[in-house]
């Protein structure tokens, strides 16, 4: 477990220590060079002052040894020695340190008298100041120069320290809407741990809730199917017995019961399928499939029902149309379209399917010779639980009003389009267009 704070603090302290040490080292070297020079100059001056009494007795002789400094040596009121640029007047009247003006400069002087010997040494104040400036600057330069280096290193290190945070941000932004898998960081810093585990817990709860919602409908449908089957089977048996016993059913009680059971079965089935194909929690497993073959299978599956109604069905178009789709959902879509066509087309009517590839799209048209739908109802029939003419649907066919809503959901899942229109056969024509590739 890493900590951004500990990381940054440790590294910044290390960094500052390192650069300060380097800077101190450098200023030590520079200042000590300056100090050496100072001492060397003093040594030179010392040498000059020691040499002075042995020089020729010309007080005007110039010495090259101590050009920078001024030296006067008085003996009993007489100037016995003075350095080159030094005036011949007494420079300082009292022993000790003092500041004097001569030779156009301001000097720091030191005078010492022993018996009748008086020595006065002076140094230009300007030189002293320049020297102390140099010493100070020498100690500041490395520190100033190390600042950009420190800044650069801090910038890099803070960037590194914040890397987990940036990674987390990147993962969050790139997450797809339906991706509820936990976020993962290679190394989780202490500060991000609550954020990460909080987010992951939330994602897990969300995933769980989605799964539960999805499962709930399936569970309900599943649990209802068996009791419905019991109802259906026993109703059939009762009907048989009734007939065998030669009982009349003038009020058509048995058919009414049968109708109720059939409607309930259809409704439960459709609610469940609607839930399954809801784009919010249906993750389509797209795979390459032959849509024409899928349509053929649906015709085969529904044929007994079509045949019972003595309807003619034909499938036209291309032998195979390959596209990326979810086999289960697309089959359900075609089952609903063909089932509707058969249901709402009178007996001995005609149903025609045509599946073709047109450019980058697959087009399926399902037409029938039924009564069709009025154009003003076109937009409403895709609404859930909407039935043309309400419950008193003129076909007398039981229905849930969910079939086309499911069809629409599945078309949307495949980025397809649906259009209703009038068929040359006289009834409804439903045109579905699906992109071949995603």
The residue among 317, 312, 334 whose CA lies nearest residue 325 is 334
Using CB under 8 A, pick the residue from 147, 204, 314, 375 that binds other proteins.
314
Strands 428-435 and 105-114: unpaired
Give least dist CB 303 to other proteins, A.
Answer: 5
Residue 210 interacting with other proteins (CB under 8 A): no
The residue among 157, 269, 180 whose CA lies nearest residue 222 is 269
**Distance, CA of 258 to CA of 264 (rounded, Å):** 10
Pick 30 or 221: Cβ nearer other proteins: 221
**Distance, CA of 221 to CA of 272 (rounded, Å):** 6
Using CB under 8 A, pick the residue from 230, 253, 256, 412 that binds other proteins.
230
Residue 30 interacting with other proteins (CB under 8 A): no
| Residues whose CB is less than 8 angstroms from the CB of residue 422 and which lie 6 or more positions away in sequence, other chains included | 372, 428, 429
Residue 303 interacting with other proteins (CB under 8 A): yes
Using CB under 8 A, pick the residue from 130, 136, 145, 300 that binds other proteins.
300
Residue 213 interacting with other proteins (CB under 8 A): no
Give least dist CB 381 to other proteins, A.
Answer: 25
Choices 7-15, 46-54, 217-225, 399-407; region in contact with other proteins by CB under 8 A:
217-225
Using CB under 8 A, pick the residue from 141, 242, 322, 328 that binds other proteins.
328
Residue 363 interacting with other proteins (CB under 8 A): no
Pick 107 or 282: Cβ nearer other proteins: 282
- Binding residues for other proteins, total number by CB under 8 A: 34
Contact between 318 and 292 under an 8 Å Cβ cutoff? The reply is yes
**Distance, CA of 217 to CA of 212 (rounded, Å):** 9
Give least dist CB 411 to other proteins, A.
Answer: 18
Contact between 402 and 274 under an 8 Å Cβ cutoff? The reply is yes
- Cβ burial 307-318 (10 Å sphere, 16+ → b, else e): eeeebebebebb
Per CB under 8 A, which of residues 342..361 are in contact with other proteins? 353
Per CB under 8 A, which of residues 245..274 are in contact with other proteins? 261, 265, 272
Contact between 311 and 425 under an 8 Å Cβ cutoff? The reply is no
Choices 154-162, 200-208, 309-317, 402-410; region in contact with other proteins by CB under 8 A:
309-317
Residue 232 interacting with other proteins (CB under 8 A): yes
Using CB under 8 A, pick the residue from 205, 222, 288, 380 that binds other proteins.
222
Choices 33-41, 161-169, 225-233, 418-426; region in contact with other proteins by CB under 8 A:
225-233
**Distance, CA of 338 to CA of 306 (rounded, Å):** 9
Pick 30 or 329: Cβ nearer other proteins: 329
CA dist 243 to 230, 240, 255, 262, Å?
20, 5, 13, 20
Contact between 314 and 353 under an 8 Å Cβ cutoff? The reply is yes
Choices 18-26, 147-155, 232-240, 373-381; region in contact with other proteins by CB under 8 A:
232-240
Provide the 10 A C-beta neighbour count for residue 410: 29
Give least dist CB 3 to other proteins, A.
Answer: 48
Given strand 361-368, what is the order of strands in its sheet? 312-317, 350-358, 361-368, 428-435, 417-422
Return residues touching other proteins (CB under 8 A): 218, 221-222, 225-226, 228-234, 236-237, 240, 261, 265, 272, 276, 296, 299-300, 303-304, 307, 313-317, 327-328, 331, 353
């Amino acid at each position: 477990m890493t900590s951004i704070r500990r990381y940054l603090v440790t590294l910044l302290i290390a960094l500052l220590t390192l650069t300060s040490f380097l800077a101190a080292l450098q200023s030590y070297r520079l200042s000590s060079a300056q100090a050496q020079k100072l001492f060397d100059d003093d040594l030179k001056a010392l040498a000059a002052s020691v040499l002075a009494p042995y020089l020729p007795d010309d007080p005007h002789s110039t010495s090259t040894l101590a050009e920078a400094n001024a030296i006067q040596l008085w003996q009993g009121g007489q100037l016995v020695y003075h350095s080159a640029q030094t005036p011949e007047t007494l420079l300082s009247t009292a022993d000790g340190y003092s500041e004097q003006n001569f030779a156009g400069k301001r000097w720091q002087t030191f005078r010492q008298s022993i018996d009748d010997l008086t020595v006065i040494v002076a140094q230009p104040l300007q030189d002293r100041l320049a020297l102390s400036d140099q010493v100070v600057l020498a100690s500041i330069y490395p520190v100033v120069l190390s600042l950009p280096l420190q800044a650069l290193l801090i910038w890099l290190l803070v960037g590194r320290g914040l890397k987990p945070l940036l990674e987390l941000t990147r993962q969050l932004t790139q997450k797809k809407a339906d991706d509820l898998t936990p976020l993962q960081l290679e190394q989780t810093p202490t500060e991000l741990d609550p954020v990460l585990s909080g987010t992951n817990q939330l994602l897990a709860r969300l995933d769980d809730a989605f799964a539960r919602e999805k499962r709930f409908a399936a569970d309900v449908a599943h649990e209802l199917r068996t009791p419905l089957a019991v109802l259906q089977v026993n109703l059939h048996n009762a009907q048989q017995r009734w007939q065998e016993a030669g009982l009349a059913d003038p009020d058509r009680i048995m058919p009414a019961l049968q109708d109720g059971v059939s409607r309930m079965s259809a409704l439960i089935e459709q609610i469940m399928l609607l839930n399954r194909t809801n784009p919010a929690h249906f993750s389509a497993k797209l795979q390459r499939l032959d849509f024409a073959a899928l349509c053929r299978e649906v015709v085969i599956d529904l044929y007994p029902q079509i045949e019972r109604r003595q309807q003619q069905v034909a499938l036209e178009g291309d032998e195979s149309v390959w596209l990326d789709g979810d086999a289960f959902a697309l089959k359900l879509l075609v089952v609903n379209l063909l089932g509707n066509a058969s249901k709402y087309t009178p007996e001995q009517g005609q149903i025609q399917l045509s599946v073709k590839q047109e450019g980058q799209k697959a087009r399926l048209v399902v037409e029938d010779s039924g009564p069709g739908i009025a154009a003003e109802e076109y937009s409403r029939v895709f609404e859930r639980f909407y039935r043309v003419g309400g419950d008193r649907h003129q076909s007398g066919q039981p229905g849930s009003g969910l079939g086309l809503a499911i069809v629409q959901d599945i078309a949307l899942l495949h980025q397809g389009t649906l259009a209703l229109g009038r068929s040359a056969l006289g009834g409804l024509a439903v045109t579905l267009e699906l992109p071949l590739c995603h």
